[in-house]
Amino acid sequence: MEILEKVFSNTVLSTILFVVGGLVALGLNLRDFYCSNEEKCKGNTMKIIVIIEITCGYLVWAFLSFLFFSLGKFNKRIEEQSTV
């Protein structure tokens, strides 16, 4: 848990993880979009579903990154106050 706190308390690392996580979510959903079953991939409905999945995946990753980033900053402040 200490490692996660150190990683997410660093703004640069949090940003990198946010971007990489979003790109992974994007890549996984694009892979699903270009599926091998042609019948399944036809129509605008599938495109809308994929867009919603990509958006939700990015939002979940953003929330988790922000949560860990906030926890890291909060723990830093508590440590600083307890040492004073």
User: What is the pLDDT, as a whole number, of residue 59?
Assistant: 78
Give the model confidence (pLDDT) of 7-27 as tens digits.
666 667 777 777 777 777 776
User: What is the pLDDT, as a whole number, of residue 70?
Assistant: 74
pLDDT confidence tier of residue 40, bands split at 50, 70 and 90: low
Report helix angle 11-33 to 2-9, nearest 10.
100
Which stretches of 1-84 are DSSP H helices?
2-9, 11-33, 38-41, 44-83
Residue with tokens 């919603």: 52
Identify which of 75, 31, 83 has the alpha carbon closest to the alpha carbon of residue 54. Answer: 31
Structural domain boundaries of the chain?
Answer: 2-83
pTM: 0.42
Q: How far apart are CA 79 and CA 77, in angstroms?
A: 5
